[in-house]
Amino acid sequence: MDAFFASVAVRDTPGLRGRPVIVGGGDRGVVLSATYEARAFGVRSAMPMAQARRMCPAAVVVPADHGRYREASSAIMGVFRDLTPLVAPISLDEAFLDVAGARRLFGGPVDIARAIRARIAAEQGLTCSIGVAPSMFVAKIASTRCKPDGLSVVRPEEVLAFLHPLPTAALWGVGPRTEETLTRLGLRTIGDIARTPADTLRRALGAGAADHLIALAHGRDDRRVDPDRTEVSIGAEETFPTDLAEPEPLARELLRLCTRVAGRLRGRGEVARNISIKVRYADFTTVTRARTLREPTDVTWLVYRAARELFDELWGTQRPRVRLVGVRASGLSAAARAGRQLTFDEQPARWADVDRATDGAHRRFGDGSVRPASLLASPSKRRTVMIVRP
C-alpha cells in the first residue's frame, strides 16, 4: 500500500487531500507515515517528529488510529484471498501472493494485478503499488520502485537486466555495515556482486551472508508464498517522555515490554526462538542486538532474561541517555509443535504456570490486574498485591 497510515487518514478526512500529512505522536515520537506531499520536504518514516516538523512546518500532524488501519488491512487482504488462497501478509499493508493457480479463472498475472488495484481503489479509496515477477525477492523490489500507485512487471528473461543496475542496498540482508564493506571492495551495484568471485565475498562477509547475496544477485530466490506464516515477528517498543540514563528504570521498561511481547505470543499460540532488542540513544543513534534461544519459548521470564542479558552487554559502563527501548520476538512457530527441553536452572514449567495464572487474571479482571512487583504503581496508588513465587 502507498503511505498506508497517512492514506487512510486522508481518505477518512477528505479535507486533508493534497496537503502534507504526517502520522505520528508528539515531538519525542517518530513519524509512522507521511503522504507524498510531506515526503517532498524530506519527511520519512521513523524520522523524529521534531525534525519532521522543522522540515515541513506546514504539515498536518494526525495521531495514529490502529483500529482503522486494521479494518482497512482486513478488507484489502480479503480482496487478495478472493483471487488466490496463497496470500502471505508480512505487515498490515503488504503481502506476497502466488497467483499461478488463479490464471485459469482470472487471467494472467498482469490482469490479476490490475484487478487488485481497481478493487482496492473502488472499495477502499486507497492506492497500492504491485510488482509482478517470478520470485518474491524481485516482486518486492519491483513494487518498491514503481511507487506510488504503480504496476511493475519483471518477466523471467528480464530479471538480471532489472536487478544488476540497482544499488547493493536494494538486496535483502544489506544493511549499513554490509553496504560499507561492499563499498570498500568497490561493489556498488547488484551487478558488481554478481561479477565478484565468491571467495572474495566470503572472506569479507562470511560464507552464509556471501552465499545469500550471491544467490539474490543472480536472481535466485526459491522461497514459496506460505499462507500459514502471517507474521514473522512480534514486538513492542516505548519512547520515553524524558531520556533515561539509570539502569533501574530502564530494566523496568524492558520488563514491561517483555511482558507485552510474551503475552502476545501466548495469545497467538506461538513460541519464539529469537529475541532482539532495539535501543535508541538521545542523539537518535539506534543499535540492535539479537540472541537465539536454546529452545523456543513464550515464557515471560525467559524472554526477559534474554533481553536483559542483551541490554546489559550493550549498556556496559558508559550509561548514555536512552530515548527508546524495544523488544522483538522472531523465529515463530506453533506452541503445540515446539519441543521443550527442561533444565534445572530455568524451571520454565513453573514460570509458565505463573504466566497462565496471570493470563487468567487478565481475562477476568482486565490487563494490569496482576503484574511483576517492580511494575507496580507508586505506594499511594497500589491496590491489593498478589505475589507468586514459582
Q: Which residues are catalytic?
A: 94
Nearest by Cα to 324 from 283, 365, 362, 289: 283
Q: Alpha carbon of 126 to those of 69, 249, 257, 287: distances in Å?
A: 12, 42, 33, 34
Helix/strand/coil for 284: coil
Asked whether the beta carbons of 334 and 269 are under 8 A apart, the reply is yes
Q: State which amino acid sits at residue 97.
A: L
Single out the residue of 342, 266, 275 nearest to residue 308, CA to CA: 275
Sign, CA dihedral 28-64-4-239, equals positive
- Which residues, 6 or more positions from 338, have their beta carbon under 8 angstroms from its beta carbon? 271, 295, 296
211 is in an annotated binding site: no
The b/e string for 84-105 (b: 16+ C-beta within 10 A; e otherwise) is bebbbbeebbebbbbbeebeee
* Cα–chain center distance at 310: 20
Report the binding-site residues for Mg(2+): 93
Report the binding-site residues: 93
